[in-house]
């Protein structure tokens, strides 16, 4: 069996986030080098803060300022930092309970090695030089020697209330998300793509309903059976339906207007999708007979053009729209 195709697929988008009042105060506070939490109805202080009380579900807006020092409650060593992580040298992921808080915040702890980290160790915030109102305004935590390891609750002054009001508050952030995949189209589509290199359209026939799938998926979705019998279809086909695209998409290098059509290649059990050229866009019609036009080095036909044959009768393609 020929090797199955593989290629990287990167899915990346700069999602925006409207922060709402609590996260706005929290992130603006970081910009101003202070850490805010919320006070819940049962008197606990949550850092990072939440908008709604986890116990009563009521809205909470009572903000308090906690200390930039705290205690590691647990941690894991990161041997090999990855892209966009807080530090580019090995570090500890640590849960840090800041002095005055009842919950812990996840962040990076800069330490020379895992032997230098332990639960209960004292740490403090290392502020980033440039702060924008983001969690990265805390560059990381660093070891902080304020005496022998403290028992739980050490240095817990009652946190001071804070209005959460700032000049020029941060109200939104950009949260870029990125996923790195290795994509494979699978055995059936690999065979299809390899045949395209010879300008042939090769589909697969369902052993039960006898319909030919182009492109093939390796199985018939109607019968639920694997397909393997290869069948060459086309090269001619019929435009079964279409639209005229008048808006230019950012990710496509196609001049508008153009015709996007469903094309039933001769012998295929369903239509595939392609662009129609070689004819003014406003003269394309259902039933138009077309053939592929290949360009040098392209994987797919650049477009399909009229063959000059008489239009197909509607009844010959009405099931292939």
Partner 1 sequence: MSKEPVAVVGIGQTKHVAARRDVSIAGLVREAARRALDDAELTWADIDAVVIGKAPDFFEGVMMPELYLADALGAVGKPMLRVHTAGSVGGSTALVAANLVAASVHGTVLTLAFEKQSESNAMWGLSLPIPFQQPLLAGAGGFFAPHVRAYMRRSGAPDTVGSLVAYKDRRNALKNPYAHLHEHDITLEKVQASPMLWDPIRYSETCPSSDGACAMVLTDRAGAARAPRPPAWMLGGAMRSEPTLFAGKDAVSPQAGKDCAADVYRQAGIADPRRDIDAVEMYVPFSWYEPMWLENLGFAAEGEGWKLTEAGVTELDGDLPVNMSGGVLSTNPIGASGMIRFAEAALQVRGQAGEHQVERARKVLGHAYGGGSQFFSMWLVGSAPPDA
Q: 45 with 39: CB under 8 angstroms?
A: yes
Q: How far separated are the first and last CA of the chain, in Å rounded?
A: 34
Give the nearest distance from C-beta 245 to partner 1 in angstroms: 6
Q: How far apart are CA 17 and CA 246, in angstroms?
A: 31
Residues forming a β-bridge with 160: 65
Out of 249, 280, 295, 308, point to the residue binding partner 1 (CB under 8 A). Answer: 249
Question: Pattern of binders to partner 1 over 253-292, x per CB under 8 A?
Answer: -x--x--xxx------xx--xxx----------x------
Q: How far apart are CA 253 and CA 64, in angstroms?
A: 53
Write the CA distances from 76 to 55, 114, 118, 172, 284, integer angstroms: 29, 8, 10, 31, 63
Out of 9, 76, 225, 226, point to the residue binding partner 1 (CB under 8 A). Answer: 9
Quick check: 83 binds partner 1 (CB under 8 A)? Answer: no
Nearer to partner 1, 131 or 211 (CB): 211
Structure tokens at 47: 């850092």
Q: Which of 51, 17, 54, 47 is nearest to 29 (CA)?
A: 47
Give the nearest distance from C-beta 197 to partner 1 in angstroms: 12
Q: How far apart are CA 254 and CA 275, in angstroms?
A: 10
Q: How far apart are CA 48 and CA 35, in angstroms?
A: 9
Site residues for partner 1, 132-171, by CB under 8 A, read 171
Out of 81, 90, 169, 185, point to the residue binding partner 1 (CB under 8 A). Answer: 185
Side-chain-side CA neighbours of residue 101 (13 Å): 26
Q: Which stretch binds partner 1 (CB under 8 A): 16-24, 106-114, 143-151, 158-166?
A: 16-24
Quick check: 79 binds partner 1 (CB under 8 A)? Answer: no
Nearer to partner 1, 132 or 314 (CB): 314
Q: Which stretch binds partner 1 (CB under 8 A): 99-107, 117-125, 146-154, 185-193?
A: 185-193
Counting DSSP H helices and E strands in the chain, the numbers are: 3, 21
Quick check: 252 binds partner 1 (CB under 8 A)? Answer: yes
Residues making contact with partner 1 (CB under 8 A): 5, 7-9, 11, 13, 15-20, 23, 50-57, 59, 171-172, 175, 177, 183, 185, 189, 193, 206, 209, 211-213, 220-222, 240-247, 249-252, 254, 257, 260-262, 269-270, 273-275, 286, 299-300, 314, 318-319, 321
């Amino acid at each position: 069996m020929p090797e199955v195709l593989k290629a990287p697929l990167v899915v990346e988008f700069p999602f925006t986030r409207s922060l709402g009042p609590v996260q706005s105060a929290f992130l603006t506070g970081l910009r101003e080098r202070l850490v805010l939490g919320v006070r819940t109805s049962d008197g606990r202080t949550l850092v990072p803060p939440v908008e709604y009380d986890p116990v009563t579900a009521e809205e909470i807006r009572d903000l308090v300022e906690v200390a930039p020092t705290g205690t590691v409650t647990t941690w894991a060593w990161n041997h090999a930092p990855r892209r966009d992580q807080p530090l580019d040298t090995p570090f500890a992921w640590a849960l840090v309970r800041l002095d005055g808080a009842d919950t812990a915040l996840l962040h990076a702890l800069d330490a020379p090695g895992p032997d230098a980290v332990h639960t209960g160790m004292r740490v403090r915030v290392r502020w980033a030089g440039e702060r924008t109102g983001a969690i990265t305004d805390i560059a990381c935590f660093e070891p902080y020697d304020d005496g022998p390891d403290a028992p739980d609750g050490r240095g817990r002054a009652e946190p001071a209330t804070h209005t959460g009001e700032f000049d020029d508050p941060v109200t939104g952030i950009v949260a870029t998300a990125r996923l790195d995949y290795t994509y494979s189209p699978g055995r059936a589509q690999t065979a299809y793509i390899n045949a395209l290199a010879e300008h042939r359209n090769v589909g697969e026939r369902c052993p039960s309903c006898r319909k030919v799938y182009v492109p093939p998926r390796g199985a018939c979705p109607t019968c639920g059976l694997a397909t393997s019998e290869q069948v060459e279809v086309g090269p001619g086909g019929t435009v079964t339906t279409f639209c005229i695209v008048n808006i230019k998409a950012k990710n496509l290098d196609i001049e508008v207007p153009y015709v996007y059509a469903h094309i039933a290649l001769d012998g295929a059990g369903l239509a595939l999708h392609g662009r129609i050229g070689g004819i003014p866009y406003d003269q394309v019609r259902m039933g138009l007979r077309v053939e592929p036009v290949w360009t040098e080095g392209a994987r797919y036909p650049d477009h399909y053009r009229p063959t000059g044959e008489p239009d197909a009768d509607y009844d010959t393609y009405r099931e292939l729209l």
